[in-house]
């Protein structure tokens, strides 16, 4: 995590990808790859080279160069997003076909852009494969359980991608302390550095080569979303499946069928 301005820190998202396990493989050997490696799928979107010690990708603009990078235009953004959406669909079909289990965790402060990024990830894929889990504050009973206990029921089954949408305000640090109050924005701002310390402790304690944390800088939300989705695709060893030649059979006529006179209620046709 870089030591930039408050605006820069507020626009950071931490994304964690857990190891991938194929349901068809014997054993539970993770299929996920370490940061910096590339997937073998052809014609994929360009991939980041893995974060350096600051958390920013090693080939990303640094310092004044990063601040001088112009905001991405909407036309170029949507063009790149269409390409990534096609790759996400290809990844989805591979996950379904191989029975892979993918678990992704998004962490970040409010306004960092987690929700917008997750929305673009799931926009063109099936909700039966890509599921978003955003748990509310734990109940008194859940506070007495193991921290991981309330998350286990939401873990992916074979052929699923689970995205956990979490906030540092009530997730990082001591799970027994619930800091997210009704006047959340004011409280979160006054506890800014408390959250920052809890976030830093979380990174130190939980970052591993098998399930690493990656930090995305999202002052420019458009660039941030593209970078995150491109990076996500680079962490999954998917291969585009061969296209099926599907032909619909002809519908059989049934001259004996007549629409019945049922007491149905019809939606008014206003348009």
State residue 187's pLDDT score.
67
Q: Tell me how far CA of residue 106 lies from CA of 38, 69, 149, 204, 269, in angstroms.
A: 21, 25, 18, 17, 43
| Residue 170 in this model has a pLDDT that exceeds 90 | no
The whole-model pTM stands at 0.69
Residues 6 or more apart whose Cβ sits within 8 Å of residue 168: 107, 108, 109, 195, 198, 199
pLDDT tens column, 55-66: 333 344 544 555
pLDDT tens column, 66-102: 556 889 999 999 999 999 999 999 999 999 999 999 9
Residue range 111-139: mean pLDDT, rounded: 92
Please answer whether residues 16 and 211 qualify as being in contact, where contact means their C-beta atoms are separated by less than 8 angstroms.
Answer: yes
CA atoms within 13 A on the CB side of 95: 26
| Residue 175 in this model has a pLDDT that exceeds 70 | no
State residue 193's pLDDT score.
87
Residues 6 or more apart whose Cβ sits within 8 Å of residue 184: 110, 169
pLDDT tens column, 127-151: 999 999 998 888 999 999 998 899 9
Dist. CA 187–CA 197, nearest whole Å: 16
Which has more pLDDT, 54 or 9? Answer: 9
Please answer whether residues 106 and 166 qualify as being in contact, where contact means their C-beta atoms are separated by less than 8 angstroms.
Answer: yes
Phi, psi of 149 (to 5 degrees): -65, -40
Q: Phi-psi region for residue 27, left (φ > 0), alpha (ψ -120 to 50) or beta?
A: left
Q: Closest Cα partner for 232 from 92, 133, 96?
A: 92
| Residue 109 in this model has a pLDDT that exceeds 80 | no
| Residue 235 in this model has a pLDDT that exceeds 90 | yes
Dist. CA 4–CA 68, nearest whole Å: 14
| Residue 214 in this model has a pLDDT that exceeds 70 | yes
Q: For 70-112, what is the HEC assignment?
A: CCCCHHHHHHHHHHHHHHHHHHHHHHHHHCEEEEEEEEECCCC
State residue 107's pLDDT score.
85
Phi, psi of 207 (to 5 degrees): -75, 125
Q: How confident is the model at residue 11 (pLDDT cuts 50, 70, 90)?
A: low
State residue 65's pLDDT score.
52
Which tokens sit at 250? 């002809």
Which has more pLDDT, 34 or 18? Answer: 18
| Residue 41 in this model has a pLDDT that exceeds 70 | no
Kindly report which listed range (47-61, 106-120, 213-227) carries the lowest average pLDDT score.
Answer: 47-61
**What sign has the CA pseudo-torsion 128, 217, 203, 22?**
positive
* 221-224 contact pairs (CB < 8 A, 24+): 221/113, 221/116, 222/71, 222/72, 222/74, 222/77, 223/69, 223/71, 223/72, 224/11, 224/13, 224/113, 224/117
Q: What is the mean pLDDT of the chain?
A: 76
Q: Which burial class, exposed, middle or buried, applies to 143 when counting CB atoms under 10 A from its CB (0-12, 13-18, 19+)?
A: middle
Torsion angle defined by CA atoms of residues 166, 171, 173 and 176, in that order, rounded to the nearest 10 degrees: -170
Question: Which residue ranges form the domains of the chain, and what is each CATH number?
Answer: 6-235 (3.40.50.300)
């Amino acid at each position: 995590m870089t030591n930039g301005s408050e605006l820069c820190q507020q626009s950071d998202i931490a994304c964690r990808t857990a190891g991938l396990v194929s349901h068809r493989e014997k054993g539970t050997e993770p299929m996920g790859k370490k940061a910096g490696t590339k997937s073998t799928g052809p014609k994929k979107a360009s991939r980041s080279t893995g974060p350096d010690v600051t958390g920013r990708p090693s080939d990303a603009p640094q310092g004044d160069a990063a601040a001088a990078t112009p905001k991405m235009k909407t036309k170029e953004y949507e063009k790149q997003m269409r390409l990534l959406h096609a790759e996400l669909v290809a990844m989805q079909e591979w996950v379904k076909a191989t029975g892979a289990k993918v678990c992704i965790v998004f962490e970040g402060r409010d306004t960092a852009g987690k929700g917008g990024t997750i929305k673009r990830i799931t926009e063109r894929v099936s909700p039966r494969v890509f599921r978003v889990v955003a748990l509310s504050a734990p109940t008194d009973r859940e506070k007495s359980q193991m921290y991981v206990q309330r998350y286990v029921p939401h873990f992916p089954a074979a052929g699923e991608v689970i995205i956990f949408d979490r906030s540092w305000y009530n997730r990082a640090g001591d799970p027994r302390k619930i800091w997210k109050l009704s006047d959340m924005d004011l409280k979160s701002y006054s506890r800014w550095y408390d959250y920052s310390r809890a976030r830093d402790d979380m990174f130190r304690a939980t970052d591993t080569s098998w399930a690493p944390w990656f930090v995305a800088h999202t002052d420019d939300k458009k660039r941030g979303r593209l970078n995150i989705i491109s990076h996500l695709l680079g962490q999954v060893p998917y291969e585009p499946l061969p296209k099926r030649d599907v032909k619909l059979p002809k519908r059989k006529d049934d001259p004996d069928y007549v629409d019945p006179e049922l007491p149905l209620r019809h939606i008014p046709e206003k348009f």
